[in-house]
Structures are given as structure tokens and as C-alpha cells.
Amino acid sequence: MKNSGRIAALTRRQVLTAGSAATAVLAMPSLSFARGVRIVIIGAGAGGGTAARLLVQQLGDKADILVLTGPSKTYYPPFLQTGRLLGEAAPTVDLGLRLGESGVATMAGSVIALDRRRKQVTVQRNETRTQLPYDLLIAAPGVSLGRYGETAGGEPDPCWTAGSACSAGLPGLAGFPEGGTLGIVAPPQPYRCPPAVYERACLLAHRLQGRDPSAKILIVDEKDGYPMQALFEAAYADYYDDAVEWIPREFHGGVKRIDFRQGLIETDFEAFEVDLVHAVPPQSAPDFLIRAGLADATGYCPVEAISMQSATDPDVYLVGDVAAAGEMSKSAGSAIAQAGLAVAHLVERVAGHPAEASIDLADQCWTFLTPDDAVTLGGRYRPEGRHFASVERFVSDVEEDETTRCSNAREAAAWPAMMLQQIYGAVS
């Protein structure tokens, strides 16, 4: 088996521990805080949930901490959404219950505005709008989904974010015709969990070809390359008899219109006719952060990497997918790591202590090529100004043996439960 530069000493448990930055935070001595510091956390996923738990452990009743969960207090972990897309059962999290057990107050509702001058968040709750004041804000709401120009035929849920239930799986998959073609539209960078689109292609190919070897998948990509490309291309050839075809943007010029009912993907150069369209939309930070002046031209929010503070407003911390974090990917592991970093800085700041030297953050993810073959990607990242620079990186090798890949698959299957345990404690 080739090593391909993998960090030999970095085990899964070490990655999760280092990635969360939680050990350093939890080991800090008890500090004295003025009562009444109002901290609002937008989002209760990997970043927001981790930040809430750590802040309560550090500050206790010395601060008023409120977590805004989004429209619902039921959380559908994004890192389990591919399974839901395939119609598989996956755990959900009762945020009110789980965060409440840690002593965290929660409120359901949609954030519609952020007034940084007044230090106020506006939340829509049914027909009521509520203004919530804050002293310090942690924004970890996840991505907002855009569109590919004009769409027709009703846009199906892409099963990509924490707000997607996707309980019935991909619409149309059950009745997919023999010899049919599934069209997948892959988004431009940057977006959440870059390898996930191609993992979906593999697992959907596995599902379709299990009942119809003549089924095809066509990936119309808004990029000219993607992470772990050599590994995925080997899987397309080895497992799926080249039934998965990838078309880069340079060959089609860009997606202009999608008709979901007619199965039509129109691009600058060509129109692709398929039997079923699954489009993963372009992504950005939510509109309320953009309107508040916290995002740049990329649609994401620049940060001071040493602290995760907004480059525009030091009283706003930006964690997870919304942060323009340089070479650090948008993933659950990255969000946990950044939350730990933000909390460490916030705690020291509230206490009036100087911030400690920056620490490297780590992240690792696993990706299925088949249910029994998984690959891994990860590394270590160092804060440098307003971005994170990769200082060590590893990726599975194309020529890894079957034993290694099966071991990866077992780790990949166990990883979501470990993440949920780390963020919330036991979940059902």
C-alpha cells in the first residue's frame, strides 16, 4: 500500500480531538466574569452546537447564552444527508432537548436581519418578529442555497443542509426507468463538503446499477476539477464500468437553466436530456450576513483566522461554512475546530486576558466509493492573517489495498455518531 504522504501519527481520534480545539478550552482554569454578558449564537449545528456547549462549560451562569436553532429545533445532520437521499434512516437531533441538557437556552425561528450598529438580531417566529440584543455574537448558520439561473418544473430538495428532512429519498429514484440517465449538477466552489457530490454519484450509481446495469449518471460540473478526483475516477472505472461520466465547465460553458420536470440541463454550449435531475445548488453565506456587510465578493465572510472574529466587526465571530477560511474546507470537522478556537478567544477576551498564541487546527473526512470502500482526506491548518494555510495534508492513495479501504469504510460508518456525541452528547 502506498502512503501518499499521510500523517502517520494522526489517528481518527487525534484528528477529532485536535480538530475540536475543545481540550485546550476545557483545560483552562475557572475565570471571573462580569454577569450579564449577552452571547447570541446563530445556528446549532457542528459549529454553533459546539460553541454553545463549550461556552456554558466555561462561563456557566456568568453569561446569558441563547442559541437560535433556525426554523425548527429538529436537526438533520448535513453529514448524513447522502444516506437520506438514498432513502436510508438516519438519526435526528432534538436541539431543545440536547442543548437544554447542557444548560443552553434555545429559540426556534429564522434570522432575517442583523443590525451591527444596534447589536441586534431580528428573528421571525411564525407571524412575530423578535429583536434580540447581544454583546457578542457567534454566527454559525451554515450555507444558503442559490439557484442555477432559471429553473422550471419545481425544484426538488437537494438534501444538502440541516433544514432538509429528505425522508422519502431522492424524488423519482424509486421509479427510475431501465437504461435511464441520472443528471447531477455539481456546484461551483466554494461550497460545503466538496467531495460529497461525487460520493453521491458513486452511491447512486451503486444503487441504480444494482438493479439495472445499463443505468448511467452524468455529472454536469460548474468546475474544471474537484477534490480526490483521481480516486473517484478510478471508482467510476473499477466499480461502475464507466457508467459515471463527468463533464467539466470548460466543455459546456456553464449551467443556465434546469427543467426538473422535463429532465433538461441547459448550458452555454449544449442541452443535456436526462431522466432525472439532482442539482446541488451554488452556495453562499445567508443573506442576513451579506446585508450586514460581513461577506466579500465570494459570498462568504472574511475572518481573522487567529480568533474567527469577523474581519469587519470584532464583536461577531464567524464559524463553520460561512467563514472564508482559506485552505480549510467547509466541513463539520472544520466547524467544530473553528468553534473551539472562537470560544477560546472569546473566553479570554471577556476575562480581560491577552489572547494566547494561535494553534493549528486539524480536520479529516471520509468518503464512500461503495458501501465497502471508503477513502479519506485531511490535514492540519495554521492561522495566517485572514485565512488558514495548509501545513500538512494527506489523502488516500489510488492503489491502497482492500484491507485499508474496508477499514476506512468502517471508520466512515462510525464517524457520524462520534461527531454527534462530540457536539451534543448521546443522541437517539
Per residue in 95-104, is it b (16+ CB within 10 Å) or e — as a string?
bbebbeeeeb
Residue 377 grid coordinates: 482526506
Largest interatomic CA distance in the chain: 67
The predicted pLDDT at position 394 comes to 96
Q: pLDDT band for position 428 (50/70/90)?
A: low
The predicted pLDDT at position 6 comes to 34
Residue ranges, comma separated, of all CATH 3.50.50.60 domains in the chain are 12-142+285-424, 170-279
Residue 88 grid coordinates: 436510508
Q: pLDDT tens-digit profile of 269-294?
A: 999 999 999 999 999 999 999 999 99
Q: What is the DSSP letter of 355?
A: P
The predicted pLDDT at position 290 comes to 99
Mean of pLDDT values over 249-264:
97
Nearest to 316 by CA among 335, 281, 289, 291: 289
Q: pLDDT tens-digit profile of 161-193?
A: 887 767 667 878 888 999 999 999 999 999 999
Whether 18 shows a pLDDT value over 90: the answer reads no
Q: How far apart are CA 336 and CA 59, in angstroms?
A: 19
Q: How far apart are CA 415 and CA 16, in angstroms?
A: 10
CB neighbours (10 Å) of residue 227?
Answer: 19
% residues pLDDT > 70 (the chain): 90
Residue 182 grid coordinates: 441520472
Whole-number mean pLDDT of the chain? 89
Nearest to 156 by CA among 251, 295, 263: 263
Q: pLDDT band for position 237 (50/70/90)?
A: very high
Q: How far is CA 113 from the centre of its chain?
A: 22
What is the phi/psi pair of residue 373, to 5°? -135, 120
- CATH architecture of the domain covering 12-142+285-424: 3-Layer(bba) Sandwich (3.50)
Mean of pLDDT values over 247-254:
98
Mean of pLDDT values over 322-344:
97
The predicted pLDDT at position 253 comes to 98
- Rounded to two decimals, the pTM is 0.90
Q: pLDDT tens-digit profile of 64-120?
A: 999 999 999 988 888 888 888 887 888 889 999 999 998 899 999 999 999 999 999
Whether 122 shows a pLDDT value over 80: the answer reads yes
CB neighbours (10 Å) of residue 1?
Answer: 13
Q: pLDDT tens-digit profile of 288-302?
A: 999 999 999 999 999
Fold topology of 170-279: FAD/NAD(P)-binding domain (3.50.50)
Q: Which of 29-38, 68-77, 86-95, 364-373 has the highest mean pLDDT?
A: 364-373
The predicted pLDDT at position 87 comes to 78
Q: pLDDT tens-digit profile of 382-398?
A: 999 999 999 999 999 99
The predicted pLDDT at position 35 comes to 52
Q: Looking up cell 466552489, which residue turns up?
A: 189
Is the model more confident about 159 or about 50?
Answer: 50
The side-by-side arrangement of strands in the sheet containing 301-304 is 105-108, 63-70, 37-42, 136-139, 316-318, 309-310, 301-304, 323-324
Q: How far apart are CA 303 and CA 313, in angstroms?
A: 9
Q: What is the DSSP letter of 409?
A: H
**DSSP-derived 3-state class of residue 276:** strand
The predicted pLDDT at position 357 comes to 66
Nearest to 48 by CA among 426, 428, 424, 371: 424
Whether 219 shows a pLDDT value over 60: the answer reads yes
Q: Looking up cell 462561563, which residue turns up?
A: 59
Whether 15 shows a pLDDT value over 50: the answer reads no
Q: Give the CA count within 13 Å in the CB-facing half-sphere of 405.
A: 17
Q: pLDDT band for position 60 (50/70/90)?
A: confident
The predicted pLDDT at position 408 comes to 97
Is the model more confident about 151 or about 267?
Answer: 267
Mean of pLDDT values over 335-357:
89
Is the model more confident about 115 or about 153?
Answer: 115
